[in-house]
Amino acid sequence: MDPLHNELDPNSLGARDLKSLLHPSTNLGQIAAEGPVVQARAEGVYVYDEDGRQVLEGMAGLWCTAIGFGEDELADVAREQMKKLSYAHLFGGKTNEASIALAEKILEMVPMPASRVFFGLSGSDANDTQIKLMWYYHNLIGKPERKKIISRIQGYHGTTVAAGSLTGLAPFHAHFDLPIPNILHTDSPHYYRLAEDGETEDQFTDRLAANLDAMIQAEGPDTVAAFIAEPVMGAGGVVVPPDGYYEKMQAVLDRYGIFFIDDEVITGFGRTGQPFGAQTFDIRPTTMSIAKALSSAYLPISGVIVPEFMVDAFRAASPEVGNFAHGFTYSGHPVCSAVALRNLELIEERGVFDHAARMSVPFQERLRRLGDHPLVGNTRGVGLIGAFELVADKQTKKPFDKAVAAGAHLMQRAFEAGLVVRALGDSIAICPPLVISETQIDELFSKIDIALAQTAEHVVRAA
């Protein structure tokens, strides 16, 4: 029996959870000992637990509730669509108005030569689809040797078998027999941690581009199909690349005719201060993955955006191969599509992109000020996403011993102060809803100040 089962009211939600749910990305021993946090409702930028306690959601859930919680218009649209057409699929040439309208809206918004949108349900299945489309396309055009996808160490692209292989974080590979073949990982652009002594940012990005070139040469340029990257690494530590990084990486890819898969699952729809991370970092995508803020996570939906030349190849092969044999039961689900469309319309009608860009100024200023704290070795961010890294020694960048669990301690102290942030090791990620106000930004960082002070006491005791 789990330890808490003897302590909790057996009819409580916490006890029922422990008896019925297998939690994703959770320390199962820890939750068995401590019990779950039961969230009961949410509104705006705040969530409330079952006892009514208010907490500022500084991570927008899982980087996703761009428009905030409890938006009545999205609930109304979902109800209306459920009554009109509760389910429809896109298999065999069938379609529905909600899916068409959403695809048209997305194609109007994305900063790339876009032709079609393929719908799924999550960032993971979008990036699975990316791999399959790369393989499918190159097979169809007579280049079946182009199978390899280059991802990056510390990158995060999902947890399914293929997307989890793209992810460059050890816990998502260990004991799961990942990565699968044909997935490679090049350097992370984490200048603070990975620059060599005396290396400037320009020299650092030169070295990373040279390493990518060397990897492609070693593997054989004609065997590499694509490179995939998040404009800003999310779960890998909110790594913002130095200026010029993507320009240099893109030049290497162009040299060998290798496609660029732009994973905008976190950065898409306003997170970086512009509608898409590709615009913030001057990326020229071949294809793009979107999810999360697409519907502000009100309902599950994702998309893969592809150019016309790929669609032409798929269509031209139809007489020989028959069906385009990829898809999901819920691809283009009309309720998810209708909610996502209204979410994007509300973002435009309310000027959320402009608001987020304005709020990024005080947000980034308060983030930078955390760098004055004795425990903070590095701050990094863009738009309304950022992180600060806790270190044992600011001068040497020496990290804390894992046993100190400085990041986890700060995350818990922040929660007790009424704020959700996320510890990625000893890097603390912050990613509030895009509708956050300047007053709420002050609240957010005031609670971080409290948590930092308590963490400073903790690391002294742990020494």
> Where does CATH 3.90.1150.10 sit in the chain?
37-70+352-462
Report the distance separating Cα 463 and Cα 17, nearest Å.
Answer: 36
Band of pLDDT at residue 463, cut at 50, 70 and 90: confident
**pLDDT greater than 70 at residue 83:** yes
Average pLDDT of the chain is 96
Band of pLDDT at residue 462, cut at 50, 70 and 90: confident
Section 340-364 average pLDDT: 98
pLDDT at position 47 is: 98
Task: Give the model confidence (pLDDT) of 361-371 as tens digits.
Answer: 999 999 999 99
Report the distance separating Cα 423 and Cα 367, nearest Å.
Answer: 15
Task: Give the model confidence (pLDDT) of 393-444 as tens digits.
Answer: 999 999 999 999 999 999 999 999 999 999 999 999 999 999 999 999 999 9
Max CA distance (Å), the chain: 71
Section 190-200 average pLDDT: 97
pLDDT at position 2 is: 46
CB 101 within 8 A of CB 350: no
Domain topology for 37-70+352-462: Aspartate Aminotransferase, domain 1 (3.90.1150)
Q: Tokens in use for 396?
A: 């040497």
Closest CA to 262 of 309, 298, 237, 230: 230
Task: Give the model confidence (pLDDT) of 101-122 as tens digits.
Answer: 999 999 999 999 999 999 999 9
pLDDT at position 9 is: 87
Tally of CB atoms within 10 A around 417: 16
For residue 354, count CB atoms less than 10 angstroms from its CB and return exposed for 0-12, middle for 13-18, buried for 19 or more: exposed
Predicted TM-score of the model (pTM): 0.95
Of the candidate ranges 8-22, 74-88, 170-184, 406-420, the one whose mean pLDDT is the lowest = 8-22
**pLDDT greater than 70 at residue 6:** no
pLDDT at position 396 is: 96
Tally of CB atoms within 10 A around 107: 14
Section 261-283 average pLDDT: 98
**pLDDT greater than 60 at residue 5:** no
pLDDT at position 8 is: 78
Task: Give the model confidence (pLDDT) of 120-133 as tens digits.
Answer: 999 999 999 999 99
Report the distance separating Cα 425 and Cα 388, nearest Å.
Answer: 11
CB 30 within 8 A of CB 2: no
pLDDT at position 3 is: 45
pLDDT at position 374 is: 96
For 73-349, the fitting CATH number among 3.90.550.10, 1.10.10.10, 3.10.20.30, 3.40.640.10 is 3.40.640.10
Which contiguous run of DSSP H or E holds residue 420? Answer: strand 419-420
Query: Which parts of 68-126 are beta strand (E)?
Result: 116-120
Task: Give the model confidence (pLDDT) of 23-47 as tens digits.
Answer: 999 999 999 999 999 999 999 999 9
> Where does CATH 3.40.640.10 sit in the chain?
73-349
Tally of CB atoms within 10 A around 448: 25
